[in-house]
Structure 1
């Protein structure tokens, strides 16, 4: 068994079968801001590994080898999940070879690989920093990796990093940036029975939606990978009552931009796109270039079979890039199943990632 209740908390056996360990992690509740029990179990288990130095910051746990190797790499994953949606605890479908449950894809299958390697590889050919952090699934201000980069940047110093976000056990390089804006229209309130005495702000937003419907996405090719930008209305609000002409309408828009654009360039594009409207920036995070020309990245890609795809979503690869550490996404699970009620991961992908990373850290 990879998990047992000791009476004083959850105990994890990191040397157990990696799939069983993944199931054990899924069965520990760790919705964002509630990761303490899982962080406690991870810390306790890692402190039982005599070859590792273990550091804890809040609910982020870091374990490191210090073997004097010529290269250091980071393996990182987040401990938190989105809220429960009828999918906790987990369950195995042994016939199909599938682990179902909250976080199985995003990203406790990857966490299991990280922890299993940390416990069972006392002498890798590269020094390794294993990072298990909290609060990735919520607002950026809470992100445990962000806080670690601010408080202890030396703990993230490395030649290369692998973020074990789900990628179907294939390498996804870089990531797109993301920003959100609120685009506003103004009107004048009036009783809906005498609507001509006012000005309807929701009606005035039609041109905003028309511009979005006509948007043609940019598809730049970077390091041989084609990225695909997006600009979408994700929320619209307005009105105060069922019999009042609304005096304000807000269209929230999310822009996913390729990593060859800076945050300033992306913001300038969006403001120009909505020229003539009140446009308020509410969220902004840079992308990360693939960095496939870096020697460490090339070696990793070769070790995983040589196939690389672009990462369309934003991930914490961006944080490593900002620190000057080339990084890729590589982990078990289909990212399209993340956050779904029927979240599930093919257990063979967990085993594949464990096997590939073990071979890479042994070469």
Structure 2
């Protein structure tokens, strides 16, 4: 049994070891950035150009983890997109823990650097695609396990690393969920996604759910000069033509009305009022060609909505459709030609009880590393979704806390503060030591 003085001695040795090998972790990050691992399902990319990149990055990562004595395996549901599972075997009596990180990135954008896969250092910052989201998290995972191995710690429970594919497009069925369904179950999960936006290594136990969907409104094409006959009193109205933009605005206003209702009806004690929104992101309307002299006969809005823990996606979907159909029942054209919904992605909310043993253990580890300012700091909602949701969907508590700034994730000039990596590694190593030891 580990006593408090023993624990402090071990943690001090871990901290010193992390400091000694932090340069190696930075080099690993540079190596990982140099392997293009764009999610091949990202909008606007040619899938065949990027199949295999995630696997190559995971195989590079595996060589570093194998050197630490970790058992290596792969779970590959879709060819060329292999998840990495690495396990540091424990003595067998303790609880298990997974460090989870997604190896896929978004597509590159035009930025300040010609090659987004060549890491560039400027002071304490390292620039490169995936540096913040979330290959710095991988470097921290490696550094945490390296320190445990160097100090000679033998955990009682198994320590896993799940380096997964598909997170950027919520393809959890071939990523995190596939790993869990393959039998790599754990008692808790720690996800080092970027959480250092303003405050050091914020820790989250919850995140909203979200859904992506479109609403298509049909019109009736006509010549632009017929507009007065279609909309003025005494004209032929809908028999002349129906501008889908006009009807789309009607639907938009109904959706906005529902969003305002949600400001009151959708609530959660950890979220600010009005946190759950229905965001219109794309509007497309035309008659098959982009030309103003026609009544457009189709208008499509693409939305992303967020909803609180405790609500289910099917419930949210039904609520949105019922509200819009009820509003459209008041319009003669839309009553006969109701909008068409397409729901094409949803991400379940994340929630682990802040009073749960694992959440308190991880939070105490973070606070012990971050210093006096964090003595009373609690968990907060995450700024974005993560694969923590899919551990929690299987009853596994999870927290999210890691190096990197969410505000520069997915940005053209993505970067990470290198000083955050050893701090994250200290938090993760302490969490493993306190959770996995009897």
What TM-score results when the alignment is normalised by the length of structure 1? 0.87
CA pair 107-201 structure 1, distance change in 2 beyond 3 A: same
Q: Does 1:72 align with 2:96?
A: yes
1:23 alignment counterpart? 30
- Aligned-residue offset at 1:76: 0.5
Count of matched residue positions in the alignment of Structure 1 and Structure 2: 343
2:384 alignment counterpart? 313
- Aligned-residue offset at 1:190: 1.6
- In 1, the alpha carbon distance for the partners of 2:349 and 2:394 equals 13
The correspondence for 1:62, drawn from 70, 77, 85, is 85
Superposition pairs for residues 141-160 of structure 1, below 5 Å? Answer: 143-150=174-181, 152=182, 154-155=183-184, 157-160=185-188
Q: Does 1:105 align with 2:155?
A: no
1:209 alignment counterpart? 252
- In 2, the alpha carbon distance for the partners of 1:211 and 1:325 equals 38
- In 2, the alpha carbon distance for the partners of 1:125 and 1:19 equals 29
2:354 alignment counterpart? 292
Structure with higher Rg: it is 2
What TM-score results when the alignment is normalised by the length of structure 2? 0.73
- In 1, the alpha carbon distance for the partners of 2:223 and 2:34 equals 54
Give the secondary structure class of the aligned counterpart of 2:351: coil
Superposition pairs for residues 250-269 of structure 1, below 5 Å? Answer: 250-269=300-319
CA pair 351-45 structure 1, distance change in 2 beyond 3 A: closer
1:131 alignment counterpart? 162
CA pair 72-288 structure 1, distance change in 2 beyond 3 A: same
Give the secondary structure class of the aligned counterpart of 1:107: helix
Counting strand residues as a fraction of each chain, which structure ranks higher? 1
The correspondence for 1:342, drawn from 393, 402, 413, is 413
CA RMSD, Structure 1 to Structure 2 (Å): 2.3
After superposition, what is the alpha-carbon deviation per residue over 1:295-346, rounded to whole angstroms, capped at 9, x for unaligned?
1111111211243210142211110011110111111111111000111111
After superposition, what is the alpha-carbon deviation per residue over 1:154-174, rounded to whole angstroms, capped at 9, x for unaligned?
20x222111111111120122
After superposition, what is the alpha-carbon deviation per residue over 1:184-228, rounded to whole angstroms, capped at 9, x for unaligned?
222111233444432111111112222344532356233x55472
Structure 1 segments, 4+ long, off by >6 Å, are none
CA contact (8 A) 1:136 1:143 kept: no
Further displaced range: 306-315 or 173-182 = 306-315
- Aligned-residue offset at 1:54: 1.1
- In 2, the alpha carbon distance for the partners of 1:339 and 1:355 equals 26
- Aligned-residue offset at 1:137: 1.6
The correspondence for 2:282, drawn from 235, 240, 251, is 235
Structure 2 segments unaligned to the other structure (5+ residues): 1-20, 40-50, 77-81, 231-239, 329-337, 368-376
CA pair 325-134 structure 1, distance change in 2 beyond 3 A: same
Give the secondary structure class of the aligned counterpart of 1:49: coil
- Aligned-residue offset at 1:135: 2.1
- In 2, the alpha carbon distance for the partners of 1:300 and 1:131 equals 18
- In 2, the alpha carbon distance for the partners of 1:273 and 1:255 equals 15
Counting helix residues as a fraction of each chain, which structure ranks higher? 2
CA pair 362-309 structure 1, distance change in 2 beyond 3 A: same
2:294 alignment counterpart? 244
- Aligned-residue offset at 1:178: 0.9
Give the secondary structure class of the aligned counterpart of 1:17: helix
- In 2, the alpha carbon distance for the partners of 1:174 and 1:28 equals 31
- Aligned-residue offset at 1:250: 1.4
After superposition, what is the alpha-carbon deviation per residue over 1:52-78, rounded to whole angstroms, capped at 9, x for unaligned?
221112321101122214211110001
